[in-house]
Each structure stands twice: as structure tokens, then as C-alpha cells.
Structure 1
Amino acid sequence: MPKKKLAVIGASHFQMPLIERAQEKGCEVHAFAWQCGDVGETAADVFHPVSITEVDEIVRICREVGVDGICTIASDLATVAVSHVAEELSLTGNSVACMERSTNKNLMRRAFEAAGDPSPKSLLVSLEDDAAEKSHAVHLTESQLDAFDPCEHGLAYPLIVKPTDRSGSRGVTKVEADHEPGAVAAALREAFEQGFRREALVEEFAEGDEFSVEGMSWQGTHHILTITRKGTTGAPHFIETAHLEPAFLSPELDSRVREVVTHALDTLGVTFGASHSELKIAPDGTIRIIEIGARMGGDCIGSHLVPLSCGVDFVGAVVDVALGNEPDLTPAHEPRASASRFLFNAEDEALLAQVEREHPELVAYKQMTSDDTDGHSVTDSSTRLGHFVMSAASAADLAPYLPEQLAAYARGDAR
């Protein structure tokens, strides 16, 4: 029997778990990406040096090759090509309209607002000439940025300013009520610089702890696999420092989170594949959806933490769905605690060395992306030095190696 041909959008190390799992399942993997020496270029069976933004060319090649499915993990931008190819070639995948809503934060906010899904109040601000025609949009010239006041448009401080089309904390800034003069303008300029469009979303800051919800959908039925508790650097950029599964929510709150996310997935039109829903829960239990990606979560959440914590072959399920097969979500083992820790500086590198020295059995995976700690500045998720993943039968065993905001839950002090 000939091998199934699977197109994978992207070739960076983030796509390696997908490329390797697809090959293990007997697929011939065709990877598409701008040629720059990424590991997936040689790991894939066939590499096509085409930028993931060249959607029409990817469609042409996939039709010529006769691919049986297409997918990606951990990349919002790559899902755009996935949806277009799937729609053009009648393959299994989410619609182009779904991907537009799930990769543009403004369209997402408007969809949530119309459907009654809980999300922060927001305003689209743009330097593009056509933005003034968009709903809820304010068009500003460069000279008007310094005088722009979000309060005049019904927003209340503190605020979050971010690009409409990026992830990984890129271009995200919190602006407090007592901000310095020019802080809003500076935040907008940073968002414009980091985004692919010259657009930014200005929204009211949602109080509370951060979580993500990892799901898998098949024919419009959503399966929530687990909930992840997150640690971040806090204001102003909220770069993620660590993750913990399970999240240790009360049964009542856990149920409400699942209900909110399931409804929001329907709002976006997600019908197939992995999903990664980010939300915040205030001390009083109020839930606010920050954003939802119709793809697997990055930072090793989908590729490593989910399989370790709940035993589901999450990456394998992504492959199955792309090929038009109902995914097998049966756990392969009993639930375990799992966590990831990101490296920002030499102290974090020393912590990894400590774990490996004291309890090497806890370390399930590690990766260094840079060894330059001298004067290194972490500005977003892509500039962290690396990360490591841990797993244990008890979360308490992981607590000594987690930031205190997560360690308290792992120990049981904050539950």
C-alpha cells in the first residue's frame, strides 16, 4: 500500500514532533517553509522551499503532489495556509472563515461579542487607510498617536495593547492608569512594528491567573483533554515562564471553563483538529477568554505536556484528523503531573543543572535555543534561552523546580 502523503506547514523545531510522528505512522511528509537551514528541512521526506505565506503556490504544489492531508502545530500563521489548501483540495480541515477569525484578534473579539462569549472589551486601532471602515476601528495618522486617548472610546485602564495577528507575547504591552506620558503611543508603535498588519487591539486588562485549555475536535464535537496553569513574567509583556498540568481547579470551576471554551470554539467555527484556548480567571471566578488558536499550543504544551499528563497521543491525533480519520483519544497511561520551565538567564540554566543532578528521572525533554546569557534580554517567547519538561506521579515532586506562583499549586498549598 502506498504511503499517505502529508503536507506540514513549517519546518522549524516546533514542527519536528509532527514530522516525526507522521513518519512513525507511515506518512510521506512534505514540509513547506522558507529555506533557512531549519531542522525540518532535512527531517521531512520532501522539503519544498516555499514561504508559508505563499498560499497559492502551496496549493499548486499540494495539488500536483496529491497530498492526502495537511496540518501544522504551534503556529497561527501556518494555519492560514492549512485552511486554504484543505478548502481548495477538499481535505479535512477548518474553513478559511474559521481561520480568519482565529488568527485575527479583532475578528475574534467581534465574534465573541456577537455570540456572548466572555472576553475583554476592546478597540481596533490602525494606521491603515481602510481601517476606518471597519467596525469598532479607529484610524490614526502617525502624528495623531501621541494624542490618542482610549478612554474617549469607552475603555478603562489598565489596558493591554497588542498586534491583531501575532502570538508568543510579541508586541504585547500593559499600560497602567498612572502611565507616563506617551506610554499608549509607544505601546501602539511597538504593536504596529511587531504585527504583519499596521493594526493593534487595545483592550481592557483582564485580572486573574492565566490558563490554557487544550482540545481536539472531530466533526464539530469538542474534546477537552486538559487545562494548563501558566506562570508569566507579569507586566508589561507577560512572557510565559512555566506551565503546569493539571491546573488544579475546583470541580465546579473546571466544568465552567470547559463549557465556556466549548461554546467559544463553536463561535469561531472550529470543527476539526487541535485547539489552544487562552483565558484568565479572576479571584472571584470570573472567566475571560483572551484568545483561541485553532491549532495545538506551542511551548511544548501540545507536543509534550499533554501526552505526559493525560496519556493522549495528541500529535498523532493531529495527523489522523488531517488524513480524514477520527482520532483515538484513549489515554495510554494513568494521569501524571507534568510541567515546563523556560530559561531566561544563567540562574535558570543553573536550575536545570540542579534538576538533572538531583532528580534526572524527572526531566522528560530539554532544548536550548541559545547559550548567550551575557547581556541577553528576553523580550518575547522567541528570545528565551530554552526550556525543559518534567513529569512525575505527584506534582509535589515538581514543585522545587517551578516558580512560586505554580509551585504553591503543585505542593497543594493554594488549592
Structure 2
Amino acid sequence: MKKILLLGGNYFQMTATLAAKALGCYVISIDYLPDNPAHKYADEYHNISTIDKEAVLKFAEEKRIDGIVSYASDISAPTAAYVAEKLGLPTNPYESVLTLTHKDRFRKFMREHGLRMPEGDSFTDEARALAYCRSLKFPVMVKPIDSSGSKGVTKIYSLDEFPAAFAEALSYSISKQVIVEAFIQKMGYQIDGDGFIVDGKIAFFGVMDQHNDLECNPHAPIGLSCPSIQKQEFQEKARNQIQKIFDLLDMKMGAFNFEYIIGKDGEIYILEIGPRNGGNLIPDAIKAARDVDLAAYTIKSAVGEDCSSLWEKPVHTCTSSYIIHATKDGIFRGIEIDEAIRPQIVQQALFVKPGDKVEKFRNAAFGIGAMVITFPDVEVMCEQIDHMNDYIRVIVD
């Protein structure tokens, strides 16, 4: 029985826990939140911070693990790579994982290799950041260098908005650094999907369209749908760019999450590449749409098992993930689901109960539940996801 250490145990990480158990692994789960739901499915739980790499290394040595996974989490991905590298377990290079999980390092890497990125820089000092912001054309994006789930990301239209945006970004940054960068106007949906590397080559590239609730935050996804409506030629160009990045970073294995846009100039801009599975039930939606279990392959890869059977099965069911969320602050009373969409829901979880205080959706931290939903065709899928507040109503007073 292979012994695997999973970093984190929230609802979105439960997919990995269940996949590991289904594969017959002995599962050890750690984080600093003992009430996280995935822990109850593990064989052991221990209260250790997933970003304390030395503490995790010591624990992993004691447990004699066969593999380690940071599933759907950027902040603990460096810990997983560090521990695996120290113990001689399957992993990508620690320095490469750091490059992908820190926006300042990633942007520097991209520019050094002549890859297209929005103009920008990172700062710890607000005054210097403000001075740089003055040199950019508005609107401008302000974001933490080491967060995920759109946490701390703000689009500003004037210098007056900068102090609040800088403080918001800083509050979500572990290293207390903030990126200030030019905003790139996109064509069509932003892309957010999951892929998988086998023997250094992209074996699976799951392109999904990102949907947003414009009333809450136009930059925080509330749904990821597939198949994408983006032209295949753009998907192939993005795939080739990302493969080039992996070649340069010597990335050899495992899952990755990617985000990119097509600018008004028709060029591809790679925004993020996370060296881990996506959050927001992206792997669950892919499994429902294509019968490809990326969570299972993540576990197999981490313990050194063969992943050559992975291939890009076509989409057989139009599918999207969806984050249940409130559109205003208040007391949660329940949700109303339109009968037109209720039969299409194949997975559902609610993280709050009636009487709980909830807040207007600003980023992934403010989601109050999650779903995987299927649709009869792409046109219906895009229309319903883009107007999901008409079909799934969160009652708040």
C-alpha cells in the first residue's frame, strides 16, 4: 500500500482524498484546520501548516511517505516540491514550482525568454508602487504575487482607487508583495483549464471558458465550462507556448492549471500557470464531461506509477463547475433552484446553513457552495452560466 501525504483538506481538495483512497493508497492529510471535510476520509489527520516546509519535511520523513500532493492549492505547491525533492520522491524541480507560484518570478521568467506578458512590476512599498502606477495607462490591475482564487485582485480606473487596491492585495500576500500591471483587453472568454504532463510533454490540455458574475466581481470566476467556444487555433497556440515554458523549466510530471486570454491584438497572453490541479471543481467538471480522472492521475504520478494511459478523450457532455455565492452581505436563508436547471445538477455542496452571515462574492474565499452542472448544448450552457443568478438564487436578508 502506497502512503501518500495530501496538503490540505477543504471541500475542493476532497476529490484528491477520495481518488487516493479509491486507488488503494494509505492517505495522510494535514493542514491547520481540523474541521476541513476531506480529513474524515483520510486514514490519518495531523495539524501542521502546509506552508511550513521544514515541519512538513520532518513529518514526511517520520511517516516514510511514498508521495506528496498539493491539490488545488498554489500556496502549498512549493512545500510539496521541496519535500519530494529532499526525499527523492517524484516531483518537478522546487525552483521551477516557485517560479510558477510567484507572480513576480513568473513574469520575470516570461520576459527573459521573450514570452508575452502584461507590462508590470512587483513592490513591497506602496509609495514606489503608486509612482509606477502613474506610468501606466488605466485601467490597471493590482494583485498579490503569491495568492490564488482571484484573492486580492482589483482592477482600478484612477489613482484615487490605488491605496485601497494595494491594501487589499497586500492582505492576501504571504510574502507581502504586490504586482501592479497593465490591463489587457481580451477577446471572448478568459480561459481557465487543467492539463497534465507525462514524461515532460503535455498529455492532456483541458481548455475551459471562465464565467463571471459581473454584479460581484468581473475578475473572479463563478464557473468554468467545457467545451470551450474558443477557436482551436488559439488553443493550439496556447498549448505550444505552455509546452515551451515547461521545457525551459524542466517540468516533467503532474497536473497544472492554466489561465490565458486572447488580446484585442489577436495575441495570446499566458496569465498564470499553477503547478497543481485547479480549484473550483475543475477536475470534477472535466471528469463529468470527458471521463478523464485527473485527480487519480495526480495521485498515481505522485507515487511514481505509470500515467501513459492518459489521453484526451473528447467532451461527451457539456459541463460546468459553478460556485454558489451571495450578491450582497447579510444573513443566509437558503437557495432557490429553478426547476429548469435542477435535473442538470450532478454534484452539489453547501458550505453554510440558514442563519449564517455571508458576504457579497469578491473572490474564491467568499463562495458558499459548489456544483457541477451539465447542459444539453454549448449555447444553453453559456447562456445559463452567464445568467445563473436567474436560475440559482441565494436568499439573503
TM-score (norm 1): 0.84
2:165 alignment counterpart: 187
Distance change >3 Å, CA 155–CA 358, structure 1 → 2: closer
CA distance in 1, matches of 2:36, 2:260: 32
CA distance in 1, matches of 2:65, 2:27: 9
Instruction: Indicate the percent of aligned positions where both proteins have the same amino acid.
Output: 22
Post-superposition shift, 1:21?
0.9
Contact 1:363 1:389 in 2 (8 A): yes
Contact 2:351 2:368 in 1 (8 A): yes
Secondary structure at the aligned position of 1:390 is classed as strand
CA distance in 2, matches of 1:161, 1:66: 42
Post-superposition shift, 1:296?
0.5
Post-superposition shift, 1:325?
1.7
2:286 alignment counterpart: 306
Secondary structure at the aligned position of 1:241 is classed as strand
- Bigger mean CA deviation after superposition, 284-293 or 343-352: 343-352
Distance change >3 Å, CA 344–CA 43, structure 1 → 2: same
Post-superposition shift, 1:374?
6.9
Match of 1:343 among 324, 338, 363: 324
Contact 1:224 1:258 in 2 (8 A): no
Show the 5 A alignment for 1:374-413.
Answer: 376-392=359-375, 394-399=377-382, 401-403=384-386
1:278 alignment counterpart: 259
AA matched with 2:88: S
Match of 2:235 among 251, 254, 261: 254
Give per-residue Cα distances to partners, 1:158-202, cap 9 Å, x unaligned.
2100010111111111112xx2x5322221122112211221000
2:337 alignment counterpart: 353
Show the 5 A alignment for 1:170-181.
Answer: 170-176=151-157, 179=158, 181=159
Distance change >3 Å, CA 155–CA 346, structure 1 → 2: closer
Post-superposition shift, 1:368?
1.2
Distance change >3 Å, CA 352–CA 271, structure 1 → 2: farther
Post-superposition shift, 1:215?
0.9
Distance change >3 Å, CA 374–CA 43, structure 1 → 2: closer
CA distance in 2, matches of 1:103, 1:48: 25
Post-superposition shift, 1:378?
1.9
1:238 alignment counterpart: 219
- Bigger mean CA deviation after superposition, 255-264 or 203-212: 255-264
1:31 alignment counterpart: 29
Give per-residue Cα distances to partners, 1:288-335, cap 9 Å, x unaligned.
111110001100012x11112222111110011001123231467863
Show the 5 A alignment for 1:63-212.
Answer: 63-127=61-125, 140=126, 144=127, 148-150=130-132, 154-176=135-157, 179=158, 181-208=159-186, 209-212=189-192
Distance change >3 Å, CA 286–CA 20, structure 1 → 2: same
Distance change >3 Å, CA 199–CA 334, structure 1 → 2: closer
AA matched with 1:395: V
Structure 1 or 2: more helix by fraction: 1
Task: Give the length in aligned residue pairs.
Answer: 381
- Bigger mean CA deviation after superposition, 228-237 or 84-93: 228-237
Contact 2:205 2:312 in 1 (8 A): no
2:5 alignment counterpart: 7
CA distance in 1, matches of 2:75, 2:259: 17
Contact 2:213 2:386 in 1 (8 A): no
1:60 alignment counterpart: 58
Secondary structure at the aligned position of 1:188 is classed as helix
Secondary structure at the aligned position of 2:269 is classed as strand
Match of 1:364 among 336, 340, 346: 346
Query: What 5-or-longer segments of structure 2 have no aligned partner?
Result: 391-397
Query: What 5-or-longer segments of structure 1 have no aligned partner?
Result: 128-139, 408-415
